Amino acid sequence: MEKIKVSGCIVTYNAKGKIDRTIKSVTEKTKGVDFTLYVVDNASTDGTAEYIKEKFPEVIVIESKRNAGFGAGHNAVIPFLESDYHVVINPDIILREDSISQLAEFAETDKEIA
């Protein structure tokens, strides 16, 4: 059986010193779906985008030219998506279990869920 395709996005701004925990928890815990993680960096000046590219090569980093805010950062990823479901992830989230896969599987059980 083919896995459900799910994407997730984290928007960052000057988060080099604190984004590790979130990315690690999301990538290590999300195993039950075909998952792609995007990080939109809102023109950080602390090297966040470069750090993520080096430490987490499996993550797709989109670098904004300016800090347009949280909503605009998440909207920037939309043209790249090819997933069945997309998850907005705050940069301070720590997953303790495979919550993203559980959400996708639940959504698959009821086609009226938007």
pLDDT, tens digit only, all 114 positions of the chain: 789 999 999 999 999 989 999 999 999 999 999 999 999 999 999 999 999 999 999 999 999 999 999 999 999 999 999 999 999 999 999 999 999 999 999 999 988 876
Torsion of CA 91, 64, 54, 95, to 10 degrees: 20
Of 31, 29, 51, 30, nearest in space to 39 by CA: 51
